[in-house]
Amino acid sequence: MPPAQSDPEPPPIHRLLELIKSEPDPATALSHLEFLVSTRPAFPPPQPLIFHLLRRLATSSPSHLPRLLGILPRMRHRPRFSESVALVVLSAFSRALMPDAALAAFRDLPSLLGCNPGVRSHNALLDAFVRARRFSDADAFFASLSHGAFGRRLAPNLQTYNIILRSLCARGDVDRAVSLFSSLRRRGVAPDRVTYSTLMSGLAKHGQLENALDLFDEMPNYGVQADAVCYNALLSGCFKNGKFKKAMRVWEQLVKDPGATPNLATYNVMLDGLCKLGRFKEAGDVWSRMVANNHQPDTITYGIFIHGLCRSRDVDGATRVYSEMVKAGLVLDVAVYNSLIFGFCEAGRTGEAWKFWDTSGFSGVRNITTYNVMMKGLFNCGMVNEAIELLAHLENDASCSPDKVTFGTLIHGLCENGFANKAFEILEDARNSGKELDVFSYSSMINRFCKDGRTDEANKIYENMVKDGCKPNSHVYNALINGYCRACKISDAVKIYNEMAGNGCSPTVISYNTLIDGLCKDQKYQEALSLTKEMVERGFAPDIRTYGSLIRGLCQDKKIDAALGVWNEVLDAGLQIDVMVHNILIHGLCSAGKGDEAFRLYSEMKEKKNCSPNLVTYNTLMDGFYEIGYIDKAESLWTAILDNGLKPDIVTYNTRIKGLCSCNRTPEGVVLFDEMLATGIIPTVVTWGILVELGIGILGELGQEADTSVVQLDGTAENIEPHKAP
């Protein structure tokens, strides 16, 4: 029987030490150290080697630090380190969001590293709690400093207070942050630029920009020089609050400040803020300054500027910046590609978007957002077949799958381009296959069917939507209300409105306006007034569309005084009254025989800069004046139409012909009819009805030309709508 083989001898100590020192992977080097300690318990590893490994783990693999700390107590000769080494450990746990590991190490610092925790170690643990958003633990630990709960009583220093300020600002408790800041000097602690920048950033983020600016202005009074971080905090707050002018004042102050210099983060804040506010020219100026001052843009900077240029439709500029990025050797991410695809599509240059899509290197970084952006661009340009082709390509792409945004884009695009049935087919296929659909997909389909008068189908989609667990929003309900009103199904519109409130979706101004208009058109004037009252009680201010619907309804109900009362409410509210609402009231006044009031309203229109009478105004007034016998005023309106460069339409001619013939000026009416034919305007059923009503003999006077016009009328009558009141 062969003798049993003994375990191989472990490598010599010098070999293990060399492996620990030279191993590029710190986790593997740690395994070598563990092996050394377990096989050579009497040998004390050199303290510099342990510190070297500790630093490597803290930098790149903090999750392995507890293993190293667990080895130290097993060593026969425990190493003793200064508090600076403890800070390396605690700070690593803080950056890695490992507050429990930081707390465990903090408690055992004397036995692990041979040092006692001072105020710096306490601050590092406090920072670990704050970074991990363990605010209650941070508050309790901060309170314990003065009570000596962890073995020693310590006076908080400025860094301690700065961390607590950051904690308070991070949770939005800026009032407590301001109170703490105000107490610092009483505690004998002078705030520094970190203190100021922390509080300014918190104030600006939580809607107290003016207080942040006041704090900034205070800094020189206490001898504190603002740095780029302070300026960046203010600039970010200004842009977040949409305060362009204030942001530019802060920027100009920074540029002139001899004690501070914009850094790359400053330029990123400026470029991002300006682009989001649509100030692309100013963004270009900032970019030029950055380049002139030899600041090398990073991937974030390039991405921000490229996206901004694409939003401004300067895709050529974006392409040039993209080329610079490539020359700089930076790694191009998918966000940059998506921005360029978006830019080409927004500029209507889908052909170039396709070329860019096919460029080498792009295929490996596409994501579902890329597909969605491209698909939206194709639909916006009416390229439906290409969008469907892209969908097929997506379905064959192993790295991407359609998401709810894809289906929303697809369904909306098809609906907008007149392919409602195809959109419905895709919607149903997605539902039946268990795909996730968002409210945008459903609302697009419902809106299209409602516009097409297919309200029963729209309602069925609404029912399926609720059944599928997708909560309808105001867009869905408004589309249904509008669809039912257009289809004269007012009771169904009211039913949907009631469901809207019952399902926890608050009506919007659009909801009220649509239903009020529908009720008025259905001659349910009292219900419309009641709904308007409810609208006001719920805190909504009626707008010009609300008032226009009410005035039209009251005029149709022959309640002219009430309509005038609403008109006065509009004036008192200071709303800008458009031409359409003027025309509605003019028509109502003329129908009620109040020609003088109608003419006075018309005269007021002529005095306004943005509300000049249009052809509908003149047609309405002229018809009303002829009806009540104001012949001279009616004649003056015909002259005014021509003098103002307006071109009479068939309604204008019908009105004037009828007016002339009704006051025994038939020959002039016949001449006007001839003039109308000469301009190429074809008579309508209304035209012939006027002539027939006034006497068959008139037709004889028209002769053969009338017969020709009748033939033209017969060929086009079904395409002509009778004249309607405005």
**pLDDT value for 385:** 92
DSSP state letters, 682-695: PP-HHHHHHHHHH-
**pLDDT value for 686:** 87
Between 359-363, 434-438, 539-543, 611-615, the lowest mean confidence (pLDDT) is in 359-363
At residue 513, φ and ψ (nearest 5 deg) are: -60, -40
Short-list 504, 454, 506, 505, CA closest to 480: 454
What's the burial of 62, exposed, middle or buried (CB within 10 Å: 0-12/13-18/19+)? Answer: buried
pLDDT class of 604 with cuts at 50, 70, 90? confident
- Looking up tokens 């927004």, which residue turns up? 346
Q: Which two three-digit tokens encode residue 270?
A: 């400026």
**pLDDT value for 695:** 59
Distances in Å between the alpha carbon of 599 and those of 86, 200, 561, 604, 607? 89, 60, 17, 9, 13
Higher pLDDT, 571 or 713: 571
pLDDT tens track for 24-52: 999 999 998 888 888 888 888 889 988 99
pLDDT tens track for 349-370: 888 888 888 775 565 678 899 9
- One-letter amino acid identity for 123? N
Higher pLDDT, 607 or 183: 183
Return all residues near 183 (Cβ < 8 A) that are at least 6 apart.
none
The mean pLDDT value for 564-568 works out to 89
Alpha-carbon gap, residue 440 to 479, rounded angstroms: 12
Between 148-162, 235-249, 267-281, the lowest mean confidence (pLDDT) is in 148-162
**pLDDT value for 674:** 87
Q: Which two three-digit tokens encode residue 22?
A: 């030279």
CA 398 to chain centroid: 31
Alpha-carbon gap, residue 90 to 126, rounded angstroms: 10
**pLDDT value for 712:** 42
Task: Report whether 666 contacts 694 (CB < 8 A).
Answer: yes
Distances in Å between the alpha carbon of 658 and those of 287, 409, 651, 716, 723? 68, 53, 11, 22, 13
Using the predicted structure, report yes or no on whether residue 4 has a pLDDT greater than 60.
Answer: no
At residue 413, φ and ψ (nearest 5 deg) are: -65, -40
Alpha-carbon gap, residue 103 to 88, rounded angstroms: 14
pLDDT tens track for 314-328: 889 888 988 888 888
Task: Report whether 110 contacts 147 (CB < 8 A).
Answer: no
Q: Which two three-digit tokens encode residue 88?
A: 């390396």
**pLDDT value for 171:** 93
Question: Rg (Cα) of the chain, in Å, rounded?
Answer: 39
- Looking up tokens 């704050």, which residue turns up? 130
- Looking up tokens 């257009």, which residue turns up? 486
Using the predicted structure, report yes or no on whether residue 706 has a pLDDT greater than 80.
Answer: no
Alpha-carbon gap, residue 516 to 511, rounded angstroms: 9
Q: Which two three-digit tokens encode residue 547?
A: 């008032």
**pLDDT value for 398:** 83
Alpha-carbon gap, residue 683 to 654, rounded angstroms: 9
Alpha-carbon gap, residue 523 to 500, rounded angstroms: 23
Domain ranges of the chain: 157-295, 578-647, 661-726
Distances in Å between the alpha carbon of 208 and those of 167, 205, 215, 226, 677? 17, 7, 11, 19, 69
Alpha-carbon gap, residue 196 to 226, rounded angstroms: 9
Using the predicted structure, report yes or no on whether residue 719 has a pLDDT greater than 70.
Answer: no
**pLDDT value for 106:** 94
- Tell me which of 1.10.3720.10, 2.60.120.680, 1.10.15.40, 1.25.40.10 is the CATH number of domain 157-295: 1.25.40.10
Return all residues near 267 (Cβ < 8 A) that are at least 6 apart.
286, 287, 290, 295, 297, 301
Q: Which two three-digit tokens encode residue 394?
A: 């997506």
Return all residues near 129 (Cβ < 8 A) that are at least 6 apart.
99, 135, 137, 138, 141, 167
DSSP state letters, 41-63: TTS---HHHHHHHHHHHHHH-GG
Using the predicted structure, report yes or no on whether residue 270 has a pLDDT greater than 90.
Answer: yes
At residue 238, φ and ψ (nearest 5 deg) are: -60, -45
Short-list 56, 134, 140, CA closest to 97: 134
The mean pLDDT value for 74-94 works out to 90
**pLDDT value for 261:** 92
Question: Percent of the chain having pLDDT more than 90?
Answer: 48
Alpha-carbon gap, residue 485 to 487, rounded angstroms: 5
Short-list 523, 621, 634, 622, CA closest to 579: 621
Alpha-carbon gap, residue 196 to 200, rounded angstroms: 6
Task: Report whether 44 contacts 71 (CB < 8 A).
Answer: no
Alpha-carbon gap, residue 456 to 449, rounded angstroms: 9
Between 578-587, 691-700, 703-712, the lowest mean confidence (pLDDT) is in 703-712
Alpha-carbon gap, residue 144 to 135, rounded angstroms: 14
pLDDT class of 482 with cuts at 50, 70, 90? very high
275-292 core/surface letters (b: 16 or more CB in 10 A; e: else): bbbebbebbbebbeebee
The number of helix segments (H) and strand segments (E) in the chain equals 41, 0
Distances in Å between the alpha carbon of 363 and those of 171, 398, 426? 42, 12, 26
pLDDT class of 717 with cuts at 50, 70, 90? very low
Using the predicted structure, report yes or no on whether residue 57 has a pLDDT greater than 80.
Answer: yes
Find the largest Cα–Cα distance for the chain.
141
Query: What DSSP element (H or E) covers 285?
Result: helix 280-292
The mean pLDDT value for 342-351 works out to 88
Q: How many CB atoms lie within 10 A of CB 567?
A: 21
Q: Which two three-digit tokens encode residue 154?
A: 């310590």
Using the predicted structure, report yes or no on whether residue 147 has a pLDDT greater than 80.
Answer: no
Short-list 274, 278, 276, 277, CA closest to 290: 274
Alpha-carbon gap, residue 455 to 453, rounded angstroms: 6
What angle separates helix 264-276 from helix 280-292, to the nearest 10 degrees? 170
Alpha-carbon gap, residue 530 to 556, rounded angstroms: 17
pTM reported for the whole predicted model: 0.68
Using the predicted structure, report yes or no on whether residue 704 has a pLDDT greater than 80.
Answer: no
C-alpha torsion 113→118→120→125, nearest 10? 70
Using the predicted structure, report yes or no on whether residue 658 has a pLDDT greater than 70.
Answer: yes
Using the predicted structure, report yes or no on whether residue 459 has a pLDDT greater than 60.
Answer: yes
pLDDT class of 388 with cuts at 50, 70, 90? very high
The mean pLDDT value for 438-455 works out to 94
Task: Report whether 641 contacts 629 (CB < 8 A).
Answer: no
- One-letter amino acid identity for 159? Q
Alpha-carbon gap, residue 353 to 318, rounded angstroms: 13
User: Could you give the 3-state DSSP secondary structure of residue 649?
Assistant: coil
Distances in Å between the alpha carbon of 394 and those of 345, 378, 387, 420? 18, 14, 10, 22
